[in-house]
Amino acid sequence: MTKTILITGSSSGFGKATALRFHSAGWNVVATMRDTAAWAEAPSDRFFPIPLDVTDPVSIRGAFDAGIQQFGHIDAVANIAGVGLFSVFETTTEQTVRSVFETNLFGPMEIIRVAIPHLRANGGGNIINLTSASSMVPEPLMAVYSASKAALDNFTEAVRFELAPQNIVVSLIEPGFVPTTGLVGKLWAGQADLVIPLEYQEIAQRRMAFFSSEPTVDLATADDVAGAILASIDDKSGRLRWVVGADQDERMRMRHETSEADYIAWSWNTFAPAI
């Protein structure tokens, strides 16, 4: 029987790459996105593009019902839809903070809540959550984004223990910087409306210079991330985190394999403004 995966954020970036990778691997793909007009792939009886807004519980339930009606079952769910934010925390409104958490944390939580009974009824399955380099090593001017991804990271690690007895495997994908997703362009585009007080301008310039600089290591691609998601489905070792990208390998090494003092010194040297 052909397996089925429901993927959020399928219109571009990691979500689109994942939809294409699973389709190529022979899966049925419920490719969800806010606006299906953004879906431009060749028609296939194993692609089912459908609207889903991760901040709308009614939309979430409707997408699951439609996906099951289309293919009969759902075997895996990949929470990929997300929103980035480059901002000075002091000038970031409460509404903006809540919006980021609605998309990056509460949306995936609600999708998982809806997915669990479907997966359980099917004998089990997989849930994959996409976080970020910032979930383990938070960055300045991305404090709100980092916090939302760190919360998803911790939630994922905890809930996997609850779901394991039901044969539902939960995994984390943690990519480093992936320029092919267009992050830099979105950051630059957002700068026109970004309020950067004088006190923060130096560190803002340093961070934007970092994003625009030539990488010193080989960075991952969206397809590398999609490959890690597919590999996590087949893994039987109980592995939780799938780190993608040489830059993220280094961050994880500093976070988990060095002393706290060494990590603090490294992170201060990497991110702090000159003072």
Structure tokens at 158: 């905890």
Dist. CA 94–CA 3, nearest whole Å: 41
Structure tokens at 216: 């010193």
Q: Among candidates 82, 79, 19, which has minimal Cα distance to 49?
A: 19
Phi, psi of 3 (to 5 degrees): -80, 160
Q: Which of 3, 16, 145, 200 is catalytic?
A: 145
DSSP bridge pairs for 28? 4
List all residues 6 or more positions away from 31 whose beta carbon is below 8 Å from its beta carbon. Answer: 7, 10, 15, 19, 39, 47, 48, 49, 50
Length of the chain in terms of residues written: 275
3 flagged as catalytic: no
* Contact between residue 10 and residue 49 where contact means Cβ atoms under 8 Å apart: yes
DSSP string, 122-186: TT-EEEEEE--GGGTS--TT-HHHHHHHHHHHHHHHHHHHHHGGGTEEEEEEEE---GGG-HHHH
Handedness of CA 57, 62, 65, 67 (dihedral sign): negative
Q: Among candidates 119, 146, 111, 117, which has minimal Cα distance to 132?
A: 146
Helix (H, G, I), strand (E, B) or coil at 75: coil
The four Cα atoms 131, 221, 208, 104 give a dihedral, to 10 degrees, of -20
DSSP state of 140: T
Q: Which of 3, 16, 149, 200 is catalytic?
A: 149
200 flagged as catalytic: no
Catalytic residues: 145, 149
